[in-house]
């Protein structure tokens, strides 16, 4: 049986976003796997867990024992869960699934039971500084066969206008909740008036409102028939989902900050959400994500895995394989990858006429050009976009 001979991290930023890929090598010549461990804002901490702790733990282990190795990695430090540890585990876990597929000579989705659909529909982000710009971007994407759009007027929190902040306020990204709510309502009214009900619309509050404001906005947006409203509450305030259910029938998606099953289990069992959209490396990789998809299916909850630019192409490929298989698939978030990422990560799934198509290569069907990846080193910077503040300077969730 093949055994693990090396586990190492590859850090690269071809698009300017720090990505972390784990490569697991074996004693069988030419056999290796790739996994996503991307925590773009704590990349060196993840690298240390992989290189300094998981590698010595895993050397000479049997690559076939994915389930056992996942629990070994999860329990080995005793204190469990959290973004740094889970992402490190994910990198190895995905790589082992990639190896499993290569050994079987099958794409990973076949190992899960095969396809439920031939290709995966996806949504794209539409941001703009004006309503006309938003409409124009939707019309452009429609020509590519896309029918699902996540709308933001000026990104998260909207566009701040004429804010009165106290002198000597701390630097940050300031926004006005009331301005943001009113602008968002106007945006959906404008878009629905222009397009009618012919397209599917999504919006991401991104946790930035107080719970009562989020309920108010959900009620006002309900008439515009959203495909889903994302992250109306921060993870610490998910008890408010019951209040939202009592006041609005708007579909809710949540989960990108979740770390462990205790965070999603009650929401799914009580049917307080409609879509689960975890960042699969954040919960520990492919192994827990496939279990989550099956669990959610029992309660009529659909999947909508987190898929922004701070998921590596390897992670996106894993999202696609899960989405091809899961009967309870809902929609997939997809990034507008520049050409350089297709060169650094050959085999990255392709898009055509509004659908994502995985190739039929064994494993996840994606590779990495390490020589080219080295030409795009990661950047050591202080994360700015999470420094979000109210007009009076109070820090709020990003």
Indicate which residues carry an active-site annotation: 156, 206
Reported as half-sphere exposure (CB side, CA atoms, 13 A), residue 69 has a value of 29
**What is the C-alpha to C-alpha distance for residues 212 and 240, in angstroms, rounded to an integer?**
9
CA distances from 264 to 60, 158, 218, 259, 260 (A): 35, 28, 21, 9, 7
């Amino acid at each position: 049986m093949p055994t693990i001979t090396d586990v190492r991290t590859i850090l690269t930023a071809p698009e300017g976003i720090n990505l972390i890929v784990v490569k697991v090598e074996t004693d069988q010549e030419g056999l290796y796997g790739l996994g996503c461990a991307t925590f773009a804002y704590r990349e060196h901490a993840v690298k240390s867990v992989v290189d300094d702790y998981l590698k010595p733990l895993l050397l000479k282990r049997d690559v076939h024992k994915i389930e056992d190795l996942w629990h070994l990695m999860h329990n080995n430090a005793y204190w469990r869960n959290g973004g740094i540890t889970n992402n490190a585990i994910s990198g190895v876990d995905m790589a082992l699934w990639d190896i499993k597929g290569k050994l079987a000579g099958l794409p990973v989705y076949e190992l899960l039971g095969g396809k439920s659909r031939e290709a995966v529909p996806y949504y794209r982000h539409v941001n703009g500084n004006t309503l006309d710009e938003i409409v124009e971007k939707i019309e452009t994407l429609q020509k590519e066969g896309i029918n699902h759009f996540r709308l933001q007027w000026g990104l998260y929190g909207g566009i701040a206008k004429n804010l009165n902040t106290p002198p000597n306020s701390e630097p940050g990204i300031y926004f006005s909740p009331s301005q943001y709510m009113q602008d968002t309502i106007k945006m959906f009214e404008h878009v629905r008036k222009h397009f009618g009900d012919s397209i599917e619309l999504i919006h991401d509050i991104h946790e930035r409102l107080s719970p009562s404001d989020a309920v108010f906005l959900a009620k006002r947006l309900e008439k515009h028939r959203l495909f889903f409203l994302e992250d109306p509450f921060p993870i610490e305030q998910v008890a408010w989902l019951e209040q939202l259910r009592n006041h609005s029938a708007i579909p809710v998606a949540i989960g990108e900050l979740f770390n462990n099953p205790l965070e999603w289990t009650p929401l799914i069992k009580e049917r307080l959400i409609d879509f689960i959209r975890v960042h699969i490396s954040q919960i520990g990789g492919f192994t827990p994500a496939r279990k989550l998809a099956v669990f959610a299916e029992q309660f009529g909850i659909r999947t909508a895995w987190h898929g922004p630019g701070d998921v590596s192409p390897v992670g996106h490929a894993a999202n696609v394989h899960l989405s091809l298989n899961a009967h309870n698939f809902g929609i997939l978030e997809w990034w507008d990858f520049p050409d350089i990422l297709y060169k650094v990560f050959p085999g990255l799934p392709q898009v055509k006429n509004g659908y994502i198509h995985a190739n039929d290569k064994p494993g996840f069907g994606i590779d990495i050009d390490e020589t080219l990846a080295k030409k795009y080193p990661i950047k050591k910077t202080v994360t700015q976009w999470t420094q979000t503040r109210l007009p009076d300077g109070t820090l709020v969730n990003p």
